[in-house]
């Protein structure tokens, strides 16, 4: 194929409109080739973007951003949109510090009308934009692109319930690729699958082809209605969308650019809310992504020719929890594992393979997952709810009202706690200490390494007095090898890793290793620093804190969490309550949303390296000459 003949000429959506329709398939090939080549160096959401190439081209061909508004659910599939709106020459910077964000960002471009990074937000936000347009007498179109995974989110149905009563002009595109991050699960996914696998589907395609030939006038409307009615009668008796007040069209081929263009031209004339069901392939045009859609949903660097990724020699925390819980469950039939559309990302795929009857993937429905776990706990089961820290936020009410208030034995496991690097502010897990520490009955801990991680999981399985939570970082740890027989930890008891008489460094979790580096650098200057591994965020080891506060010149807390209401705040509150005046220096992330970039770059920028921390200690209020 001819590579890079059209894409470099596109600096705005207006340039796309100047191309002939026969050139659009070539443009789609160029975009796919550029995605495959560039993301092999940067990492990113390859599969989802390969699946929406024709869709995005057709959208920009028919509609006019920034006047018209596009909302992509999650927006991880917005790379093609970025390329068609003047950012193709910066694609190689995506997810790199100072470069393009991996999600849509209004501050990045006027063509991004709404920022997102979590699923299930687009319909509600889009409906709000449409309502504002109606209030202001605007004429622009609002187009929401939502994968079928968005329809496992409760917020999507809350929005659908309000569409017909809110606006008459609203376009929803159901991008049906049968996947969210993992394979879609549940009745809604099966509902869509029944449409696409019906023997009547071939007939529907034939009718859709006739439909686009008849665009214009009463005949087009009659035929469109006939197709829609036929779909309902043959395939979808009592179709859910019609009952909610949206006119349903489709399903149609989401990779047929000409068909998409004609259909969008028709839909933009409608004076009623509409939903267009399109069928796409996640990873289209790239064999490795088609073979492993979950792996290529979002990944790091890979070999573009083969799709092979660099394998770490050390297992990640996610891999460890899956294998560890699976091992524990062999002797404990009450253990179950629950996740929200991320069996691979959370590592629970190992548990699912070994204990399929005790594994539950509820789709992207964190609120339901938490309530579901609560229900199981009332019956004596031990549910391990494994969800990324940033997504556990969505279940906050259920954690308070249903799990903690009833003091249920639910095990909350928060993956990606701390900085999530190049995924950016929507995915950083910097707030879970803050949102959990004020809730009664919940215990909360963080391991310093992989060995202690397994000990903590073992402790969680044996804790029966209420909810217990663990936070752990993305990727691999220090390389510590867990013992064959894990150890039960004493509740609320920290570990003294290194002795010292002048400074006490409380390094929480993965920042314990940073504290050790700081202690070594201070020792070179003749300053003795103790290093304490707190282990427990709640209950706090107040005895050890007070012992060190009474003998050192300075207390320092280090954490991979926002400083506001974090671990250091907990220590400060205790020192104040105990009337202890020993100075405290809190080290953590500042009180604003941290941008995307590698962990090493961001730690250096925000003064969270060992060298920068030493400078702050030495300059602290003149304690050290």
Active-site residue list: 282, 366, 394
Cα 413 from Cα 416, distance rounded (Å): 10
- Residue 230's φ and ψ, nearest 5 degrees, are -65, -40
Helix, coil or strand: residue 177:
coil
Instruction: Give, to the nearest 10 degrees, the angle between helix 257-267 and helix 53-62.
Output: 40
Q: Where are the beta strands (DSSP E) in 10-163?
A: 69-72, 142-147
C-beta contacts of 103-106 below 8 A and 24+ residues apart: 103/74, 103/75, 103/76, 103/78, 103/424, 103/426, 104/72, 104/75, 104/78
Q: Buried b / exposed e across 132-142, counting CB within 10 Å, b at 16+? A: ebeeeeeebbb
Phi, psi of 611 (to 5 degrees): -65, -45
Q: At 423, phi and psi to the nearest 5?
A: -75, -25
Sign of CA dihedral 288, 290, 291, 292: positive
CB 247 within 8 A of CB 164: no
Q: Which residues of 510-533 are buried (b: 16+ CB within 10 A; e: fewer)?
A: bbbbbbbbbbebbeeeebebbbbb
Cis peptide before 251 (omega within 30 of 0): yes
Contact yes or no for 475/421 (Cβ under 8 A): no
In DSSP terms, 589 is beta-bridged to: 562
Non-local (6+) Cβ contacts of 238 within 8 A are none
- Do the bridges between strand 443-445 and strand 536-538 make them parallel or antiparallel, or are there none, so unpaired? antiparallel
Furthest CA-CA distance within the chain:
88
Consecutive H or E run containing 252: strand 247-253
- Phi, psi (5° rounding) for residue 206? -65, -45
Nearest to 78 by CA among 140, 14, 146: 146
Q: For 198-216, where are the alpha helices, taking DSSP H only? A: 201-213
Cβ proximity of 570 and 562 under 8 Å: no
Q: What are phi and psi of 176, to 5 degrees?
A: -100, 100
Residue 66, preceding peptide bond in cis (omega within 30° of 0) = yes
Closest CA to 614 of 571, 549, 554, 545: 554
Give CA–CA dist 73/123, Å, rounded.
8
DSSP codes, 390-438: HHHGGGHHHIIIIIITTT---EEEEETBB--GGG-TTT-B-SHHHHHHT
| Contacts for 237 with CB less than 8 Å, ≥ 6 apart | none
């Amino acid at each position: 194929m001819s590579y890079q003949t059209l894409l470099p000429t596109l600096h705005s959506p207006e340039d796309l409109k100047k191309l002939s329709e026969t050139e659009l398939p070539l443009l789609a090939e160029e975009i796919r080739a550029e995605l495959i080549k560039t993301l092999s160096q940067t990492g990113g959401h390859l599969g989802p973007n390969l699946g929406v190439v024709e869709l995005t081209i057709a959208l920009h061909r028919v509609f006019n951003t920034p006047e018209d508004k596009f909302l992509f659910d999650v927006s991880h599939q917005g790379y093609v949109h970025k390329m068609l709106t003047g950012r193709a020459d910066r694609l190689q910077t995506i997810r790199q510090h100072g470069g393009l964000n991996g999600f849509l960002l209004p501050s990045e471009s006027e063509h991004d009308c709404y920022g997102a990074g979590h699923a299930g937000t687009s319909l509600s936000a889009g409906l709000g934009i449409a309502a504002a347009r109606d209030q202001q007498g605007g004429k622009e179109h609002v187009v929401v692109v939502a994968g079928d995974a968005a329809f496992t989110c409760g917020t999507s149905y809350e929005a659908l319930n309000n569409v017909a009563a809110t606006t008459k002009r609203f376009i929803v595109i159901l991008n049906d690729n049968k996947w969210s991050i993992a394979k879609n699960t549940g009745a809604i996914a099966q509902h869509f699958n029944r449409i696409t696998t019906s023997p009547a589907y071939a007939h529907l395609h034939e009718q859709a082809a006739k439909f686009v030939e008849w665009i214009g006038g009463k005949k087009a409307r009659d035929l469109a209605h006939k197709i829609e009615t036929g779909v309902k009668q043959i395939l979808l008796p009592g179709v859910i969308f019609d009952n909610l007040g949206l006119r349903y069209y489709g399903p149609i081929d989401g990779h047929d650019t000409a068909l998409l263009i004609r259909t969008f031209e028709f839909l933009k004339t409608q004076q009623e809310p509409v939903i267009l069901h399109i069928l796409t392939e996640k990873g289209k045009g790239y064999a490795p992504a088609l073979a492993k859609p979950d792996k290529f949903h979002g990944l790091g660097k890979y070999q573009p020719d083969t799709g092979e990724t660099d394998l770490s020699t050390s297992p990640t925390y996610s891999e460890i929890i899956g294998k560890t819980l699976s091992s524990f469950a062999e002797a404990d039939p009450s253990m179950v594992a629950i996740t929200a559309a991320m069996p691979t990302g959370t590592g629970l795929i190992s548990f699912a393979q070994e204990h399929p009857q005790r594994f539950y993937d509820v789709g992207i429905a964190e609120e339901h997952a938490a309530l579901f776990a609560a229900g199981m706990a009332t019956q004596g089961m031990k549910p391990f709810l494994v969800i990324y820290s940033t997504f556990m936020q969505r279940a906050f009410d259920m954690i308070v009202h249903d799990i903690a208030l009833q003091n249920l034995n639910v095990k909350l496991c928060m993956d990606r706690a701390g900085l999530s690097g190049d995924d950016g502010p929507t995915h950083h897990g910097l707030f879970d200490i803050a949102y959990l520490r004020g809730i009664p009955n919940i215990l909360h801990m963080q391991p310093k390494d992989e060995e202690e991680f397994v000990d903590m999981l073992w402790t969680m399985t044996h804790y029966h007095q209420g909810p217990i939570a663990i936070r752990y970082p993305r990727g691999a740890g220090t390389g510590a090898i867990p013992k064959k027989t894990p150890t039960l930890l004493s509740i609320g008891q920290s570990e003294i890793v290194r002795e010292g008489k002048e400074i006490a460094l409380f390094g929480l979790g993965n920042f314990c290793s940073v504290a050790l580096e700081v202690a070594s650098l201070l020792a070179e200057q003749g300053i003795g620093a103790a290093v304490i591994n707190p282990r427990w965020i709640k209950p706090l080891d107040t005895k050890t804190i007070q012992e060190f506060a009474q003998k050192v010149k300075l207390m320092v807390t280090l954490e991979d969490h926002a400083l506001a209401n974090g671990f250091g705040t907990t220590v400060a509150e205790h020192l104040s309550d105990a009337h202890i005046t020993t100075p405290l220096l809190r080290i953590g992330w500042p009180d604003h949303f941290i941008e995307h970039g590698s962990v090493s770059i961001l730690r250096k920028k925000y003064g969270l390296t060992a060298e920068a921390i030493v400078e702050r200690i030495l300059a602290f209020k003149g304690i050290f000459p």
